[in-house]
Amino acid sequence: MLDLIPSLHSWAQRDAAGQFAVATIVGATGSVPRPVGTSMIITASGSVLGSLSGGCVEGAVVALALEAMDDGGTRRKTFGFSSADAFAAGLTCGGELDIHIEPVPAAVAPENAPHPLRTALRQLADAGSGQPVALVRRVGTRGGAAVVLHNPANFRGAASPELAGLLERESLLQVEALVRNGGAGVVRLAGAGGCLPDRLQGDRDQDSGADAILVESRLAPPRMLVFGANDFGAALVPAAKLLGYHVTLVDARPAFASQPRFAAADQVVTDWPHRYLAAESDAGRLDSRTVAAVLSHDPKFDIPLLEAALALDLAYVGAMGSRRSHLQRVDDLLAAGVAPGRIAQLHSPIGLDLGAVTPAEVAVSITAELIASRSRAAGCTPLREASGPIHQHPAQQPPHQAPRQPAPTKLPQEIAWT
């Protein structure tokens, strides 16, 4: 549902008072185009907001949503690839989607309590595009509950009166973990016999034992610190913005940092890089999702900055330079007392080997390595030469999580064994 936030405000002004249904992906296996939590809203007139699969199953979902609005019952439908029925709605990519459809009746007299999902949608419509927020929904029964949570990074489930009547203790702990980590997933609730069902049953689901909790959480955007007001920094800033980072450009030289070409950055800071990094760390404004890209290519800036950055728990630290300058950088860091194990975490020379030459191409190389560093499954080979699932589901790979450990950086031979 959080994927709809940018469009919800205008939709709420136009259609929120009428009858509608919400179709949501609550399960995804194999190669699928959209992750768990992706939603689509269908009104009684058949208008649609959002998309679940890029066109493969939307027509069938709209038909099911109109049926659900007619009789007021929820629906659960699994869509996959079927070679037996060429005309059946399904996913040509070969994956499988489980979709839950919940109808919301038209708003009635003001004195009546609004439907929980209608209230949640209005609250999400008021949320900014980058505002941290979480949505916790019960799916699987008629009229499921929905709670919007603000400041998810500091959420404490045990102290949440909104969820006290919705969750049992075991479920509350699982929900808290998803909310605080900015994840999305389904938490199964115990059925009548105390067992956790593998999946909700049937296309029409009115069995309370099949209840589940759908969690979607979005933290504040992760930070990228770009050090170096030069051509490469100017190209990396907008590329990082496309990936959803809050970008800060840092350079100690006012004449360079004040250039209009860096206006796309969320913040431009004129300060010595290592001093700025230390101040941000002391103020608690860095976390394990923070990325540092050192592009200044000047030892008087780079060495003290890298010494400070490698001492922190950051998601990614990369430095620009040739292989020769990298080896000199390693020697300087060792002389400064940085442990070889810490130096081995440095992405230097920065970026993937794409044959990049221009600043724009180098920015693609850097962001490609950054994306690859998040997933242990990333092979960095052409998809046509690989096998297995293309997409990594958020349940398996939370967005902006701390990356896998990079391959050890090449150290001089005489100290590589230490």
Half-sphere exposure of 154 (CA within 13 A, CB side): 2
CA dist 314 and 402 (Å) reads: 8
| pLDDT > 80? residue 10 | yes
| SS3 per residue for 131-181 | CCEEEEEEECCCCCCEEEEECHHHCCHHHCHHHHCCCCHHHHHHHHHHHHC
When pLDDT is averaged across residues 389-395 and rounded to a whole number, the result is 53
pLDDT of residue 78: 87
| pLDDT > 90? residue 282 | yes
| pLDDT > 90? residue 52 | no
Question: Which tens digits make up the pLDDT trace of 293-324?
Answer: 999 989 999 999 999 999 999 999 999 999 99
Higher-confidence residue of 281 and 160: namely: 281
- What is the percent of the chain with per-residue pLDDT over 70, rounded to a whole number? 76
Higher-confidence residue of 108 and 343: namely: 343
Per domain, the residue ranges of the chain are: 2-218, 223-385
pLDDT band at residue 145 using 50, 70 and 90 as cut-offs: confident
| pLDDT > 90? residue 406 | no
CATH number for the region 223-385 comes to 3.40.50.720
The winner for highest mean pLDDT among 81-90, 92-101, 102-111, 313-322 is 313-322
The DSSP code for 204 is: B
pLDDT of residue 211: 75
CA dist 62 and 40 (Å) reads: 9
Range in 25-29, 52-56, 119-123, 174-178 with the lowest mean pLDDT: 52-56
Query: Hey, which residues does 79 pair with through a beta bridge?
Result: 97
pLDDT band at residue 89 using 50, 70 and 90 as cut-offs: very low
pLDDT of residue 33: 67
The rounded mean pLDDT for the chain is: 81
Cis peptide leading into 222, omega within 30 of 0? no
Q: Two tokens at 13? A: 């002004």
pLDDT of residue 208: 35
When pLDDT is averaged across residues 253-262 and rounded to a whole number, the result is 94
| pLDDT > 90? residue 402 | no
**Helix, strand, coil % in the chain, rounded to nearest 5:** 35, 20, 50
CA dist 15 and 290 (Å) reads: 39
pLDDT band at residue 275 using 50, 70 and 90 as cut-offs: very high
Q: Two tokens at 94? A: 């070969």
Q: Two tokens at 140? A: 């699987």
| pLDDT > 90? residue 168 | no
| pLDDT > 90? residue 349 | yes
Identify which of 25, 29, 85 has the alpha carbon closest to the alpha carbon of residue 54: 25
| pLDDT > 80? residue 253 | yes
pLDDT of residue 46: 87
